[in-house]
Amino acid sequence: MARNRTAFFDIPPDQLSERDARAELKELAELIAHHDRLYHEQDQPEISDAEYDALRQRNESIEERFPQLILPESPSRKIGAAPAEGFKKVRHRVPMLSLENAFLREDIVDWLDGIRNYLLELRDPGVAIAVRCEPKIDGLSCALRYEGGNLVSAATRGNGEVGEDVTANVMTIQNVPQALKGAGWPDVIEVRGEVYMTDADFLALNEQQEAVGAKVFANPRNAAAGSLRQLDPSVTASRPLHFTAHGWGESSESFAESQSEALRRIHRWGFQASEPSRVVQIVAADVGGLCGYYDDIERRRSGLGFSIDGIVLKVDRLGWQGRLGFVSRSPRWAVAWKFPPERAVTVVEDIQCQVGRTGKITPVAHLKPITVGGVLVRRATLHNSDEIARKDIRIGDTVVIQRAGDVIPQVVETLPAQRPTDSVPYRFPERCPVCGSRVVREAGEADSYCTGGLICSAQVVERLKHFASRDAFDIDGLGDKNIEAFYRNGLIQTPVDIFTLETRDGQQLPPLREWEGWGEKSARKLFDAVRRARMIPLDRFIYALGIRQVGEATARLLAKHYRSLAHWRGCMEASQDRSSEAYLELCAINGIGARMADDILEFIAEPHNQAVLDGLTSAAGGRPPLVSVADFERQAAETPIFGKTVVFTGTLESMSRSEAKSQAEALGANVAGAVSRKTDYVVAGPGAGSKEKRARELGLTVLTEQQWLELIRNEFE
């Protein structure tokens, strides 16, 4: 008998609640498996092909809307039906953060100093801090999810929020356990670590590749990434990859008190954990023990057999880690102490200026190609005109360059003894090399800008690239090269045009599938990716606009404060009047300075930017992109202070000001620096002055520290 479907089946995916979506996906998985069996094994289909396709289509569109609910047994993930179009996206339930970099001993002193300052009880220099030291493996990070002890999925880091589903490929890595060993593992545990290739395997792979005329990899990291991101898992299986664990993400229960204990356990469950490690006890600000580990690993670096680019230091106690939390995308409790960048000597063949999306002009040295630390380098940034003048870098000079990790190589110094006799100092252009507009440099600024705005094609193209990039709209298939081609051919001029590509396809020009290098599949893949991008968290939307000075962290602040696109835009428009409440509110957001506010308001005031915002939000450009709530909102439960604005003033006694602020933010509050009519709570400690006074004048709720702690207490129990 044909199975029936439940009532919510025909609700559009956008309107489904998460609960219903979960139930329906489960039902669809069973239903499709049932029809697969009838069709393939019993040759007795109950439904038509069209009905079957409709079920799969429905499954896909719900998964697109709720990627976090994709089931391990989902029909879309069946191995063999491997997505030729690329990897599926997976939303990380706990974001995958990255690490702040340190280069000098003093940076480490500062890091520890910050920790001692942040946690009140550590302000006593006699209290020791145990720091776990590990090598920083140069691979790519991966999250492996185990349920009931079995490996159910694996994802790359991606942009930290959404990664790629590489389950089938990770299953082929020899030292990844398919099932956890021993006992005591949480029912759900996501082990995180690094996928890498040993130096010997890397060299052997490159020899093989060369022998068959295939692509040779620049370094072990690229080789590991290239091997893991293979659409055909059997290719990954033929590559010698390894996995080493250095942490974890979601866990259904806590299983350790310290990082070291956790990694010992993870090791017992069958993983290789990052070694050689050491726990160093830090008293006061004495970083001697950490330097000892750093020197030791640097000495042993070439004998380890795998590539590392520094060490990682982590506060060992998990209780402290939790309280230290993270700032922007990096934890306060860990830091990467990188080895000095590798250097080489080469010749500057030319100096050319690039124009960025904000019009900023960056001079770039074109070098005689040279290998630095295994990577072929052809260009180095020269930053700005002051930097060129200070180092007196000229065309024809022999220079020392350095390269640290993925950072753009830099010119360290020029070697004047080897300078050609006819050389002349470099003259910075007065006109934009792309559009010919005037170049200006404001007083007190190091950077020069092209004044061409939208008539400068370089700026337009760079803005489009930024819009589609990984941390912004993240549109697969719309990389730099394609944007350039689409722009050149007049297909896209503004971000709005991206969303109408599909409806306009084949109208002015031949359809995309007929373009050179394109086909039916790649064109479809691009249109699908654009459709998926219509749903985007507010913070990424704001970041994508490419407002000067508004990076990811600021975009998050704005999204968190204003919470919807319409509200943010409305407030920015009202803020054009600098005496308005809206303007005061914007400037009162902690982390938004007056100059930044000016840049935001200048952006919003521009008619062409308004047209883009209109186009993106109205139906004018086809179906409008939907701006979903930012991720932190989705995660934050409704707490008594959710969405409330809080101001701390005076001295706090139970914790540092920074800790109180982060704690409030973690519960969904906005912490402001100044009191205004919009403030909900003012927490006043001893010594509070004018802010408390103003709060009382305005009739706001003023709390003592104790009352505040009671208000939020339940959330931390």
Contacts of residue 257, defined as CB under 8 A and 6 or more positions apart, other chains included, come to: 317, 318, 319
Q: From 132-140, 182-190, 197-205, 561-569, give the range in contact with ligand IVH by CB under 6 A.
A: 132-140
Applying CB under 6 A, the span of 95-103, 531-539, 672-680, 706-714 interacting with ligand IVH comes to 95-103
Closer CB to ligand IVH, 141 or 663, in the complex: 141
Q: Is 179 exposed, middle or buried (0-12, 13-18, 19+ CB in 10 A)?
A: exposed
Residue 336 in the binding site for ligand IVH (CB under 6 A): yes
Choose, by CB under 6 A, the member of 59, 74, 76, 141 that binds ligand IVH: 141
Helix (H, G, I), strand (E, B) or coil at 557: helix
**Residue least distant from ligand IVH (Cβ):** 141
Contacting ligand IVH (CB under 6 A), which of 58, 132, 136, 332?
A: 136
From the CB of 157, what's the least distance to ligand IVH, in Å? 6
Q: Does 246 bind ligand IVH (CB under 6 A)?
A: yes
Nearest-approach distance from CB 338 to ligand IVH, in angstroms: 9
Phi/psi of residue 137, nearest 5 degrees: -75, 135
What are the residues whose beta carbons fall under 8 Å from the beta carbon of 589, sequence distance 6 or more? 557, 558, 561, 670, 672
In angstroms, what is the minimal distance from the CB of 99 to ligand IVH? 4
158 in contact with ligand IVH (CB under 6 A): no
User: What's the chain's Rg over C-alpha atoms?
Assistant: 28
| Ramachandran angles phi, psi of 67, nearest 5° | -60, -25
Residues with Cβ within 8 Å of 120's Cβ and at least 6 positions away in sequence, in order, are 654, 655, 656, 659
Chosen residue from 186, 247, 249, 537 binding ligand IVH by CB under 6 A: 247
Q: Mark the segment that binds ligand IVH (CB under 6 A) among 133-141, 391-399, 521-529, 632-640.
A: 133-141
Q: Which range, of 93-101, 180-188, 512-520, 665-673, touches ligand IVH by CB under 6 A?
A: 93-101
**Shortest distance (Å) from residue 97 CB to ligand IVH:** 4
Residue 488 C-beta: closest distance to ligand IVH, Å:
36
Active site residue 136: yes
Minimal CA–CA distance to 611: which of 490, 494, 690, 514?
Answer: 494
Binding residue (CB under 6 A) for ligand IVH from 134, 165, 502, 665: 134
Q: Name the DSSP class of 211.
A: H
Sign of CA dihedral 203, 207, 208, 213: positive
Q: How far is the CB of 658 from ligand IVH (least distance, A)?
A: 19
Establish if 98 lies at the interface with ligand IVH (CB under 6 A).
yes
Between 141 and 679, whose beta carbon lies closer to ligand IVH? 141
Q: Which is nearer to ligand IVH, 104 or 345 (CB)?
A: 104
Report the nearest approach of ligand IVH to the CB of residue 334 (Å).
6
* For ligand IVH, the closer CB: 331 or 477: 331
Any contact of residue 290 with ligand IVH (CB under 6 A)?
no
The site map against ligand IVH for 414-443 (x = CB under 6 A) is: ------------------------------
Nearer residue to ligand IVH within complex by CB, 331 or 668: 331
Question: 282 near 316, Cβ under 8 Å?
Answer: no
Of the listed pieces 91-99, 279-287, 361-369, 503-511, which binds ligand IVH according to CB under 6 A?
91-99
> What residues contact 225, with CB distance under 8 A and at least 6 apart?
140
Residue 577 in contact with residue 540, Cβ under 8 Å? no
Under rule CB under 6 A, residue 501 binds ligand IVH: no
Please state the closest distance from residue 326 (CB atom) to ligand IVH, in A.
7
Compare residues 326 and 487 and give the one whose CB is closer to ligand IVH.
326
Cα–Cα dist 123/652, whole Å = 14
Contact between 109 and 117 under an 8 Å Cβ cutoff? The reply is no
Give 154 or 688: the residue with its C-beta nearer to ligand IVH: 154
Q: Is 335 exposed, middle or buried (0-12, 13-18, 19+ CB in 10 A)?
A: buried
DSSP annotation string for 94-115: S------EE-SHHHHHHHHHHH
When the beta carbons of 99 and 388 are compared against ligand IVH, the nearer one is 99
Cα separation, 102 vs 111, in Å, equals: 9
Question: To the nearest whole angstrom, how small is the minimum distance from the Cβ of residue 245 to ligand IVH?
Answer: 9
Residue 401: strand pairing partners:
344, 411
Q: Which of 78, 88, 89, 136 is catalytic?
A: 136
| Nearer to ligand IVH among residue 309 and residue 497 (C-beta) | 309
What values do phi and psi take at 449, rounded to 5? -130, 145
Report the interhelical angle of 457-468 vs 480-488 (nearest 10°): 140
Which among 96-104, 230-238, 485-493, 679-687 is the span making contact with ligand IVH, rule CB under 6 A?
96-104
Helix axes 105-118, 657-666, angle to 10 degrees: 80
Nearer to ligand IVH, 170 or 565 (CB): 170
According to the binding rule CB under 6 A, does residue 312 interact with ligand IVH? yes
State the minimum distance, in angstroms, from the CB of residue 137 to ligand IVH.
4
Calpha distance 597→137 (Å, rounded): 40
Q: Total number of residues binding ligand IVH (CB under 6 A)?
A: 15
Among 25, 90, 99, 588, the residue binding ligand IVH under the rule CB under 6 A is 99
Residue 450 CA to residue 355 CA, distance in Å, equals 7
User: What's the rounded Cα separation, in Å, for the pair 377 and 381?
Assistant: 11
Dist CA 320 CA 388 (whole Å)? 45
* Footprint on residues 184-213 left by ligand IVH (CB under 6 A): 194
Nearest Cα residue to 496 out of 607, 609, 645: 609
Binder of ligand IVH out of 32, 137, 151, 542 (CB under 6 A): 137
Q: How far is the CB of 341 from ligand IVH (least distance, A)?
A: 15
Site string (260-279) toward ligand IVH, x via CB under 6 A: --------------x-----
- Please identify, using beta-carbon distances, which residue of 172 and 277 lies nearer to ligand IVH: 277
The residue among 21, 24, 49 whose CA lies nearest residue 36 is: 49
Shortest reach from residue 69's CB to ligand IVH, in Å = 25
Interface residues for ligand IVH in 506-535 (CB under 6 A)?
A: none
Q: CB-wise, 274 or 679, nearer to ligand IVH?
A: 274
Q: How far apart are CA 355 and CA 518, in angstroms?
A: 29
Q: Is 602 helix (H, G, I), strand (E, B) or coil?
A: helix
**Given phi > 0 = left and psi -120 to 50 = alpha, else beta, which region is 38?**
alpha
Query: Looking at the annotation, which residues are catalytic?
Result: 136
Interface with ligand IVH (CB under 6 A)? 97-99, 134, 136-137, 141, 194, 246-247, 274, 312, 331, 334, 336
